[in-house]
Chains A and B, each alone.
Chain A
């Protein structure tokens, strides 16, 4: 008896019990559709995460940040001895806390396996394009960094013509800020960027004030007859110094000078809302950004920057062409085959914290295994219910077909062939149910995806497709459908095989 004969007999038998077979298959269809929809949701999310990591270039990226001050103090130095060095990085075992400065960037770039190290430099700007002006943020990026993901993915391949080009790239975030949906029209237009920078001029002006008025005010408050007392003189001096320091800071922070530059927009980034990753609205070449900083003393209006500069003694250091202060974060682009663990060890040896996205990705993948398992259980419960239906149908079928079984045995069919006939029958129910179920599951997920898309758009949420039907899922669903059905038919098939032909034929 060939497989063809078995299938032929099985389909013939099922055709004779059309309605019952249809209802049994419907049970399998619903179970498989549930199974497919569940796992399709997990697969869609996994695919989305994998695509996000790939398109954002996260799998070859390690973020380096300074250690928390308390942690740094605990591990490196006693209180009061923390001082930044010109090299930034503090080798392990030394007593100095490591800060992320140019020296540190250079040290990080030298770690074996690191392709590129680039700092996170972002500053507040006022951007004007055409008649629109917005307060936003600009990020400085080197040409090399621009060629990496995600910028290479989302910037239509456009990069700056040079490190100090008067060019800018605006991203979808910027378009959102100025209320544009598509930004192609902006390419070639001028973008005026202005920023307020702290300068020594403004700070000193605060200290000096108007000399005549200052002197008169001072004379009014000084009791000349008391000048002979040293304590009084020191008190005046202390008070005056306090006043001057206050004015210095006021001049530095609140009376900053405005620096403006006109840049040409050379590219508009594609939308990447889907990944919900913050990306700076404006990107400018590194050296161009440095021109803004070099006009002042390179400090933002953030008082913590000032505090850091005072603590490190770099407040009056020359800025612009050389070191540009400290960075909150440095990104390492790691060679694809390099060991992230080794790079992380080297980073930590320099006294920094490292965060590998690849390691995080591994954890996420692990999570997805549990996710799949959990959703599979729900799908399998539905499938188990369908299996009971199949078993019931097959047992009824055997009761009705005892005579047929007897006849087949009298013709020479052995137990294995009878068993196979019934297994193929239940397998056919499973296969047909699985194929239709996969289709139904897919249609179901498409409908839900459309509804979700509409809701996401209405709620102004990033739109993405949470479902995916990969080939492996189709094959697994098919396999499960057939396997569970065959398993459900196993007991009835064994019963059929054991039918005594004499009894079966005598019944007639």
Chain B
């Protein structure tokens, strides 16, 4: 049975009198450890699908199940716990807290998953070291380059040892070199049995990293292509 499964998954918005079908009857199955890249035009519903998988948003209809847990049936509190323990999120604009240091930003991901206070700092430090930011722990986001900020964001997503990374345009604000570096990092993490669900416009990323590429159009998955030749996803 698939690790992530959706059936007739819908997410509709109402704006004024207009109904927007951001995700419309999506059926999807993703195995654990896959590197899924979702591509499509702006407004096609990629980010909404990602938010639904990350437990940030709730479906209007249909169901979504991750690791045997029906997200559409979870209470708001249970959904928060799901986000705190099972999913790490990476955003295009990094979404680091500008007033805190890199270390504190990473440490904060452990505030909500029950990690004992005394262990948090060490784990955050270790994760930043692993991502090559050992000498940047006390820097605030404003003092870091875009690539470094995204690494801090990835460290924050990884530090709680999630089962899945949901990345929304992770290379969208980076130059080519930094983009390549971030994609390599995600590929490396995926090799360690981490499921990656990434939304991107970056075709290079899709080509190099994805085990499957989903194409979305007006809220629907219009194609689902496996890329066995990619350097990333294993299945």
Interface residue ranges, A against B (CB under 8 Å): 1-2, 4-5, 12, 16, 403-404, 406-417, 501-502, 505, 508
Q: Smallest Cβ distance from A257 to chain B, in angstroms?
A: 95
Q: Enumerate 10 A-B pairs (CB-CB under 8 Å) in ascending A order.
A: A1-B111, A409-B56, A412-B85, A412-B111, A412-B112, A413-B84, A413-B111, A417-B112, A502-B51, A505-B95
Within the complex, which residue of B57, B83, B99 is in contact with A16, where a contact is CB–CB below 8 Å?
Answer: B99
Indicate if the CB atoms of B95 and A412 lie closer than 8 Å.
no
Instruction: Please measure, in the bound complex, the distance between the C-alpha atom of A410 and the C-alpha atom of B50, giving whole angstroms.
Output: 12
The one of B80, B83, B117 in contact with A4, judged by C-beta atoms closer than 8 angstroms, is B117
Given A407-B97, A410-B83, A412-B112, residue A5 in contact with residue B117 (CB < 8 A): yes
Q: Is B206 an interface residue (CB 8 A)?
A: no
Q: What is the bound-complex CA distance between A505 and B77, given in angstroms?
A: 19
- B117 touching A414 by the CB < 8 A rule? no
Q: Find out whether the CB atom of B56 lies under 8 angstroms from the CB atom of A501.
A: yes
A403 touches B95 (CB 8 A): yes
Q: Which residues of chain B are within 8 angstroms of A508 by Cβ–Cβ distance?
A: 91, 93, 95
B contact residues around A409 at 8 Å (CB): 56, 80, 83
B103 to chain A minimum Cβ distance, whole angstroms, is 14
Complex: chain A residue closest to B92, CB-CB: A508
Across-interface contacts of A5 in B (CB, < 8 A)? 111, 117
Q: Chain B's nearest CB lies how many Å from the CB of A411?
A: 5
Instruction: For A4, list chain B residues within 8 Å (CB).
Output: 117
**Complex contacts, A501 vs chain B, CB 8 Å:** 56
Contacts A4-B117, A410-B95, A411-B112 given; does A502 touch B84 at CB 8 Å: no
Interface residues on B, range: 20 to 34
- Which residues of the partner chain B approach A407 to less than 8 Å between Cβ atoms? 95-97
Chain A residues within an 8 Å CB radius of B56:
409-410, 501-502, 505
Centre residue among A412, A414, A416, A505 by max chain B CB count within 10 A: A412
Known: A4-B117, A410-B54, A413-B112. A12 touches B80 (CB 8 A): no
Distance from A4 Cβ to chain B, minimum over Cβ atoms (Å): 7
Inter-chain CA distance A501–B111, complex, in Å, is 17
Q: Is B125 in contact with chain A by the CB < 8 A criterion? A: no
Q: Pick the residue among B51, B100, B113 that contacts A412 (CB under 8 A).
A: B113
How far apart are the CA atoms of A335 and B99 in the complex, in Å?
A: 70
| Nearest A residue (CB) for B120 | A5
Q: Considering the chains assembled together, what is the distance between the CA atoms of A412 and B162 in angstroms? A: 12
Q: Is B180 an interface residue (CB 8 A)?
A: no
In this assembly, does B23 line the interface, its C-beta being within 8 Å of a C-beta of chain A?
Answer: no
Contact in complex: A502, B81 (CB < 8 Å)? no
- A-contacting residues, B67-123, CB 8 Å: 76-77, 80-81, 83-85, 89, 91, 93, 95-97, 99-100, 108-109, 111-113, 117
Contact residues in B for A408 (Cβ distance below 8 Å): 108
Q: Which of B80, B91, B97 contacts A505 (CB 8 A)?
A: B91
The answer to whether A414 touches B80 (Cβ under 8 A) is yes
Query: Do A414 and B81 form a contact, CB below 8 Å, given A409-B56, A502-B56?
Result: yes
Q: Which B residue's beta carbon lies closest to that of A410? A: B89
CB distance from B158 to the nearest CB of A (A): 12
Interchain CB contact under 8 A, B76 and A414: yes
Q: Indicate if the CB atoms of A415 and B117 lie closer than 8 Å.
A: no
* Known contacts A5-B111, A502-B51; is-contact A412 B84 (Cβ 8 Å): yes
* Interfacial residues of chain B within 9-58, with CB under 8 A of chain A in the complex: 51, 54, 56-57
Chain B residues with CB under 8 A of A1: 111-112
Q: Would you call A411 and B99 a contact (CB within 8 A)?
A: no
Nearest CB of A to B188, in Å: 23
Query: A174 vs B158: C-alpha distance in the bound complex, in angstroms?
Result: 88
Q: Which residues of B contact A414 (CB under 8 A)?
A: 76-77, 80-81, 112
Would you list which residues of chain B between 136 and 176 have a CB under 8 Å from chain A? 156, 160
Given A4-B117, A508-B95, A411 and B109 contact (CB-CB distance below 8 Å)? yes
- Beyond the given pairs A407-B97, A412-B109, 13 more chain A to chain B contacts, judged by CB atoms under 8 angstroms and listed by A's residue number, are A1-B111, A4-B117, A12-B99, A403-B95, A406-B95, A411-B84, A412-B85, A412-B111, A413-B80, A414-B80, A414-B81, A417-B112, A508-B95
Are the C-beta atoms of A412 and B156 separated by less than 8 Å?
no
Chain A residues near B111 (CB, 8 Å)? 1, 5, 411-413
* Residues from chain A with Cβ under 8 Å of B89 in the complex: 410-411
| Alpha-carbon gap, A12 to B140, bound state (A) | 14
Q: What are the 6 closest A-B residue pairs judged by CB atoms, nearest first? A: A412-B84, A414-B80, A412-B112, A412-B83, A414-B77, A410-B89
Q: Which of A4, A5, A406, A410 has the most CB of B within 10 A?
A: A410
Cβ of B80: which chain A residues have Cβ within 8 Å of it?
409, 412-415, 417
Q: A404, A411, A501, A508 — which one has the most chain B CB atoms within 10 A of its CB?
A: A411
Residues of B within 8 A of A411 (CB): 83-84, 89, 108-109, 111-112, 156
Do A412 and B81 form a contact, CB below 8 Å, given A1-B112, A407-B97, A502-B51? yes
Report B196 CB to chain A, min CB distance, Å.
17
| Distance in angstroms between the alpha carbons of A505 and B169 in the assembled complex | 13
Beta-carbon nearest neighbor of A406 in chain B = B95
Considering the chains assembled together, what is the distance between the CA atoms of A416 and B95 in angstroms? 22
Shortest CB distance B53–A (Å): 13
> Distance (Å) between the CB of A397 and the closest chain B CB?
13
Contact of A502 among B57, B96, B113 (CB under 8 A): B57
Given A12-B99, A409-B56, A505-B95: A2 in contact with B117 (beta carbons within 8 A): yes
A485 to B54 alpha-carbon distance, docked (Å): 36
How many Å from the CB of B110 to the closest CB on chain A?
9
Question: In the complex, which of the residues B51, B97, B156 has the most CB atoms of chain A within 10 Å of its own CB atom?
Answer: B97
Which residue of B has the minimal Cβ distance to A497? B76
